[in-house]
Every structure is written in C-alpha cells, then in structure tokens.
Structure 1
Amino acid sequence: MITQKVIIIKADGSKVAFNPNKIITTCLRAGVNKEATKRIIKKIRGQVYQGVETHDIYKMVLNALNEEKEGTVLKQRYKLKEAIMKLGPTGFLFENYVGEILKHSEFKVKTISGKVRGRCTVHEIDLIAFSGNKRTLVECKHHSKHGVYTGLKESLYTHARFLDTKSSFESEYLICNTKVSMHAKKYAKCVGQHILSWKYPPNNSLEKIIEKNHLYPITILSLNSKEIRSCLHAKILLAKNLLNYREKELSKKTGINTKRISNLQKLVQQMIS
C-alpha cells in the first residue's frame, strides 16, 4: 500500500512535503526529551492534512507542548524565531539584540548605529565591533514576516559599504534573523563576507548561539505589549536579565506587580536551567 504524501504550504506560498524531522529537531533543541517528542510527532501526524499551512502546524505543536510536563517552559523556548521577529519593525531593537549576542561571543561592541566616513560618502553602520585588534563592520537585517529570505541584495549592500569604508575595517558581517539564500551564501564566500543567520552557518547559527548561551530576547516570554515596552524602557532586552533584580526593585523599575515579576523570574530560571 502506497501512503500519499501530505503537501503543506509554507509562509512564502511554496508547497513541500510534510517533514516531521524539522519538528523533531526544533523540539529537541528546545529541550523536549525524546519520548515527549515522539508523542508530539504522533499527535501532529494525526492532525496534518493536505494543504495545511505551516503556521497552523506551528500552533499544533504549541498545543501539543502544552500537554507535556513543563510544557510552559518548553513552549517558550520553541517560540524563539517568533520572539526575534517581534524585535521590530524599525530594526533598532534587533541591532541592540545582536550587540548582546556579539558581547557573549568573541566580540566587543564599540558603537551601535555609528557614522563612519568612507572614501566616497558617510555611512551609518549598524554595529561596530572588535575581535582582538580587528575592527568589524556589522550590518543587521531584521524581518518581521515568515517566509522571507535575506538574499543577494543584502549581501551586496553590506559588501559595498565595507569596500567604501575598508580603511576603517578589517572584516564584515551580515547578521539576520531569517534564512539566507544560496546566492547570498555563494557571494559572501567569494568575497570573504561572514554571515550569521537562522540555520547558518550549520554548526554555529544564530539560534544555536542564542540557545547555547541562553540569550533569549525578552519577547520570548508571554508578555503583553505594555509589559514589553516597560522592560525595554528599563533596558532589559534579554529574558535572563530579569534575574539580575529583586522582585520589588524590578517592579519599581518596570511598573509590573511583584507577583507577576516573581512568576516571570521563575519561568526564566526554568528556561535557562
């Protein structure tokens, strides 16, 4: 008996065969154990249908996670990509977030949105970072919609800036919250441009660095818009930064009541443990 493949519709409108391995990988990365992952996949297999959209499958997985032990914590981790997409729409928050990620890597961030005079014009560089004695130009590209790729245009744009300001920088980085196109990867490799993005490079991609160092953005928590604004106004960009304060101190700083603060801190502690 031949089993018909279930065709799903991605956010960009393209159609592909349903691949449960993608859910398995994301679940395991979020800390779901193997047995729970098997149960989730079994539930999803029983719910998917021809023509189902990926965002509906995403909701199915979140609902399945809710039924598991420590489901709230696991669900928060699973929502990482969505959380980063909320760091917009201007891109400024994403630049600051990337700065936090770089600080936990080999870089020291000197300037965010700094002006640098090139050979032909003045450029506003998203981030200026140092790795040892080498000065690095960092261009950040943030997308708030699913199904969008960062492509060759962004890679070309970043390299053009680097060429014009080459007297000030030794290397260039393009950092984005989406996948990058094959053309962008090929071009970047040819000109020596570094790319950090979703799923790339395979062994040290954006999400892997975030998860390894517990650099979850504050938007990964189930906060309402007012609470998010309050945290950002208090310069709390990372979820784990909530643990740097006592309940009353953080309540005064954000205007969020102490009981809510206590619950959020407990959730963050579980997420990073």
Structure 2
Amino acid sequence: MMKTVKIKKYSGELQDFDMNKLINSLRRSQADENLVQHVARNIVDQVEEGMTTKKIYQMAFNMLKSRSRISASKYNLKKSLMELGSTGFPFEKLVGKLMEFEGFNTQVGVIVQGDCVSHEIDVIAEKENNHYMIECKYHNSQGRFCNVKTPLYVQSRFVDVKQRWKSQVGHDTKLHRGGLYTNTRFTTDAIQYGTCVDLMLVSWDYPPQNSLKARIDKAGLYPLTALATLTKTEKRQLLDKGIVLCKEVYENPILLEQLGINESRQRKILDDSLKLCSAINTLI
C-alpha cells in the first residue's frame, strides 16, 4: 500500500494523490489497458510530496506520447481547448460543428434583433421545431470557472431575442431555448440557475453523460491543437487561417504543404488527424 502523498492543485490547494483518479483519466484517452497501468505505476514511483498536478499531468502526457500519440492527444484534450487562442471564435466554431453533428443547421457569430436591442449571438442552431440561441464562454487558462453571472446574462439576452422570434411568422409552434457552452466548469449555483430557467448547459464535465469532452469524443471533432505532431507555431499559423479542427487539416492537406512541412511529417500529421476524427469514444 502506497503512502499518502499531498499534491498541489492549480488553485494552490493541497490534496491527496489518488492513483484511481489518475487511472480513470488515462482510460479516457482510450489507451490500451497495459499502457494505462504502465503509466500509472511510473507516476506512482515518481510522485513526490508537494508535486503539482500540472507536473503529474505533463509526466503522464509525455509517457503516453512516447507510446501512443493518439492516446496522448485525447488525454490532452482539455489543455488543447485552452490553446485555441485568446479569442473565443475558434471555440464558437467548434461548438457550431458539434451542433451540426447532432443534426442542427447552424450559424456562427451572427447579429440577431431582439425585442429591445440587437445582439451578437455566438451560435444559432435549428433542427425541425427546435430553435436555439447559444452563447460560448471560453477560457484559455486553468482554474477558471463559469459562475452564475454568465447564465444570468445569457438568459436575459435570450428572453429579449425570444420575444422577437415569437412574433415572427411560423415561430408560434417552435421550441425556443437558450444555451451556454464553456470549456471549463460551472459552479453549483450556475447549474442551479441554468436548470431552473431551462438553459441548455454544457461544460467540460457537465452534463455527466453528455459533457463537452463526451460530445467531442463521440463526434471525433478534435481541435487541431490536440495534434502532438504539430508545433505550437504551426498550430497558431493554422488557427490564424481560420482552421480549427483536425478534420479540416485531414481534408485539406495542402495546408501543411503551405506551412513548409516536409512530406514525412505531413504523413504523420494526416494519419493522426484521420485517427482522431474517425475514432468514436463512448467513455465518459
């Protein structure tokens, strides 16, 4: 039985190192069980009193990457989302694509007239009689939470837009609903309020069975920042061109040639992109 070791979270708070928690996070990468156990044992042997969760995460990622780039990319998904840049637009595009995968027709970054004022809406999604107005709250650093102020703000905008929509021809039978996506986590009161007013809430780990990470896994819509075969500079250059998904990289290989990437690396990048966007993961 291993001794209790205190490790430091991003917040600075100390907590007991939990090997089972580490194993569960590794399994979500869809790595082979032998590899999961191998990485976990190595981490246990190296973890020290006061070591940061960031350090442990990086150790696990590097071990996975040395044996399976695809598993490493999946393990690194949360961080990859935070590497989409300082603006929220790439995340909005990703959310729009996730909604399209679920059968919605979407528009990203549109101006919508409300009953009182006009609003710039991140994603408008329509499917049959369902008409959604979705706002995206993006954070590019660890330790950030989406508190109750955000769903309060989203709901007030939605109410204004909904009043205008209801006055339009053909909208009297439609289900109008507001929604909020975030790449981090909701606070308890944010979930309580959002549930009370029937906002569609999606965060990194909420709802438990259909969270953001679960939706990305199911759709195979990984951000290009998840690719372990691209450098930070190359990722930034692609994002600057409006490219966000691994799927887009695979479908447009000329993009890699334009970046001056040699043929050998191009093949690795395209192979990883294909595997990421074709693999369906049902694990939560």
TM-score, structure 2 normalization: 0.86
Match of 1:131 among 97, 119, 127: 127
Q: Which residue of 2 aligns with 1:266?
A: 271
CA contact (8 A) 1:138 1:175 kept: yes
Cα–Cα, structure 1 residues 120 and 24, in superposed 2: closer, same or farther, change >3 Å?
same
SS in 1 for 2:51: coil
In the alignment, which of 103, 116, 119 is matched to residue 115 of structure 2? Answer: 119
1:230, 1:255 within 8 Å by CA — same for their partners in 2?
no
Equivalent of 1:100 in 97, 105, 108: 97
Q: Which residue of 2 aligns with 1:187?
A: 193
Equivalent-residue separation in structure 2 for 1:6 and 1:188 (angstroms): 38
- Taking a change above 3 Å as real, the CA distance of residues 6 and 128 of structure 1, as seen in their structure-2 partners, is same
Instruction: Give the counterpart of 2:247 among 230, 240, 246.
Output: 240
Any gaps of 5 or more consecutive residues in structure 1?
Answer: none
Find the partner of 2:224 among 218, 223, 227: 218
SS of the aligned residue for 1:56 comes to helix
Structure 1 residues 241 and 24, CA gap change in structure 2 (3 angstroms):
same
Q: Describe the shift of the 1:39–1:101 C-alpha distance in structure 2 as closer, same or farther (beyond 3 A).
A: same
| Alpha-carbon distance, 1:91 to partner | 0.7
Within the alignment, does 1:141 sit opposite 2:153 as a pair?
no
Give yes or no for contact 2:84–2:239 (8 Å, CA) kept in 1: no
The alignment partner of 1:120 has SS state of coil
Q: How does 1:54-133 map to 2 (within 5 A)?
A: 54-68=53-67, 71-109=68-106, 111-133=107-129
Equivalent in the alignment of 1:200? 206
Cα distance 1:73–1:215, how it changes in 2: closer, same or farther (>3 A)?
Answer: same
Q: Which moved more, 1:257-266 or 1:213-222?
A: 257-266
Moved more, 114-123 or 179-188: 114-123
Q: Which one has more relative contact order, counting CA pairs under 8 Å at least 6 apart?
A: 2
Q: How big is the shift at 1:258?
A: 3.3
- What is aligned with 2:282? none
Instruction: Assess, with a 3 A threshold, how the Cα gap between structure 1 residues 74 and 104 changes in structure 2: closer, same or farther.
Output: same
- Aligned residue number for residue 172 of structure 2: none
Q: Is the counterpart of residue 28 in structure 1 residue 1 in structure 2? A: no
Residue 203 (structure 1) shift = 0.5
The 1:252/1:9 distance shift into structure 2, 3 A limit, reads: closer
Partner of 2:169: none
Q: Aligned-pair distance for 1:107? A: 1.9
Tell me the C-alpha RMSD between the 2 structures. 2.1
* In structure 2, distance between residues paired with 1:203 and 1:253: 40
- Structure 1 match to 2:17: 18
Letter in 1 for 2:273: V
| Paired AA for residue 130 in structure 1 | E
User: TM-score normalized by structure 1?
Assistant: 0.89
1:201 CA drift (Å): 0.5
